[in-house]
Amino acid sequence: MGKRKYFGTDGVRGVVGGDVINAEFALRLGYAAGKVISREQPAHRRRQTVLIGKDTRVSGYMLESALEAGLASAGVDVLLVGPVPTPAVAYLTRTWRLDAGIVISASHNAYFDNGIKFFSHKGTKLPDAMEEAIEAALEEPLLCVSSEQLGRARRIDDAPGRYIEFCKSTFPSDLDLGGLKLVVDAANGAAYHIAPHVFRELGAEVTAIGVSPDGFNINRDVGALHPEALVEEVRKREAHLGIALDGDADRVQMVDGTGRIYNGDELLFAVVRERLTRAPVDGVVGTLMTNFGLERQFKAMGIELARANVGDRFVLEQLQKRGWLFGGESSGHLLCLDCHTTGDGIIAALQVLAALQRSGQTLSQWVHDLRMYPQKMINVPLKPGSDWKSHAGLAQATREVEALLGDRGRVLIRASGTEPKLRLMVEADDDDLATSCVQKLAAVDLT
Contact 114, 13 (CB under 8 A): yes
Closest CA relative to residue 224, chosen from 200, 197, 255:
255
DSSP code at position 390: G
Whether the CB-CB separation of 332 and 345 falls below 8 Å is answered with yes
- What is d(CA 347, CA 326) in angstroms, rounded to the nearest whole number? 13
Total residues belonging to the chain? 447
Does the annotation count 146 as an active-site position? Answer: no
The catalytic position among 107, 120, 330, 331 is: 107
DSSP for 166-210, please give it.
HHHHTS-TT---TT-EEEEE-TTSTTTTTHHHHHHHTT-EEEEES
Q: What are phi and psi of 272, to 5 degrees?
A: -65, -40
The sign of the CA dihedral 286, 287, 288, 292 is: negative
What is d(CA 415, CA 418) in angstroms, rounded to the nearest whole number?
A: 9
Specify whether the CB–CB gap between 150 and 71 falls below 8 A.
no
Instruction: Write out the H or E segment, with its range, that includes residue 139.
Output: none
Question: Count of alpha carbons within 13 Å of 37, Cβ hemisphere only?
Answer: 31
Alpha carbon 283 to its chain centroid, in Å, reads: 20
For residues 32 and 165, give the distance between their C-alpha atoms in angstroms, rounded to a whole number: 34
Residues 93 and 80 sit within 8 Å (Cβ to Cβ): no
Burial (0-12, 13-18, 19+ Cβ within 10 Å), 304: middle
Query: How far is residue 87's CA from residue 312's CA, in Å, rounded to a whole number?
Result: 12
On whether the CB atoms of residues 434 and 427 are closer than 8 A, the answer is yes
Q: Please, is 309 exposed, middle or buried when counting C-beta atoms within 10 Å of its C-beta (0-12, 13-18, 19+)?
A: middle
DSSP string, 314-383: HHHHHHHHHT--EEE-TTS-EEETTT-SS--HHHHHHHHHHHHHHHT--HHHHTTT--PPPEEEEEEE--
Residue 215 CA to residue 217 CA, distance in Å, equals 6
Residues designated catalytic:
107
